[in-house]
Amino acid sequence: PSWEEELGLPAINMETPLQQRRKRRRTRSNKNKEEIENQRMTHIAVERNRRKQMNDYLAVLRSLMPSSYAQRGDQASIVGGAINYVKELEHILQSMEPRRTTTTTTTHEADTSTSSLVRPFSDFFTFPQYSTKSSSSVTESSSSPAEIEVTMAEGHANIKIMAKKKPRQLLKLVASIQSLRLSLLHLNATTRDNSIFYSISVKVEEGSQLNTVDDIATALNQIIRGIEEES
């Protein structure tokens, strides 16, 4: 111990004012460096997560179309291929409309009304949350514009939808599903006569308000009803 401590006197700071200022500057400089480094690491982590999320979205998008539309794995090729694929689907649907109109009679239209809509694919549904028959509708008393069945397991949902074909129905359905924070993993569409059957697999994203099969089924019913009304 110093002689000041032995005598019980307070220690005397022998540093000059200039030395003290330099010491304070070094302390502030070290703190600034730490803050800058922390900000840099945070930025790197955020950017890494953004890139991972973007890659996941691109992988899902690529899985929804034939490989010939996106032969390379870069973002521009996948997005461009998706746009071309959607345009091709729209062209096919538009080319099918005149044939359907010319071959469909008034009697046939009556037979394929909402009440008999599910007949071609009735075997695909076990316990639908919504049915085109009012007596089978679980979640609301009035009949639904579509047959809808949702099952869930560990944050993943399998969706079956049977509805009447409508213009741009597929595009509107996909866009609406994604807006509900449901990540599209797989989609298959099968048409028969005036009906279309969708088999869809989705992952419920963090922050989604749809946590049960009834939540998802209700949202899908509203989407299909909205598409029907717009048509």
What integer is the mean pLDDT of 54-60?
A: 84
Instruction: Flag whether 126 is in a domain.
Output: yes
Domains held by the chain: number: 1
Residue range 105-147, pLDDT digits in tens: 444 444 444 444 445 556 677 788 888 765 444 444 346 788 9
Least confident of 42-51, 137-146, 207-216: 137-146
Q: Which residue has the higher pLDDT, 42 or 25?
A: 42
pLDDT at position 217, please?
A: 93
Instruction: Flag whether 179 is in a domain.
Output: yes
Query: What is the residue range of 161's domain?
Result: 106-230
Instruction: Flag whether 7 is in a domain.
Output: no
Instruction: Flag whether 86 is in a domain.
Output: no
Instruction: Flag whether 42 is in a domain.
Output: no
What CATH number is given to the structural domain containing 131?
A: 3.30.70.260
Q: Which residue has the higher pLDDT, 64 or 223?
A: 223
Instruction: Flag whether 40 is in a domain.
Output: no
Range picked from 95-104, 128-137, 195-204 for highest mean pLDDT: 195-204
pLDDT at position 160, please?
A: 92
Residue range 9-20, pLDDT digits in tens: 555 556 667 666
**DSSP letter string over the chain?**
--HHHHTTPPPP----HHHHHHHHHHHHHHHHHHHHHHHHHHHHHHHHHHHHHHHHHHHHHHHTS-GGG--S-SHHHHHHHHHHHHHHHHHHHHHHHHHHHHH--HHHHHHTSGGGTTGGGGGG-SS-SB-SSGGG-SS-SSPPSEEEEEEEETTEEEEEEEEE--TTHHHHHHHHHHHTTEEEEEEEEEEETTEEEEEEEEEE-TT-S--SHHHHHHHHHHHHHHHHHH-
pTM over 0.75: no
pLDDT at position 110, please?
A: 45
pLDDT at position 216, please?
A: 93
Instruction: Flag whether 47 is in a domain.
Output: no
Instruction: Flag whether 172 is in a domain.
Output: yes
Mean pLDDT of the chain: 76
What integer is the mean pLDDT of 78-105?
A: 69
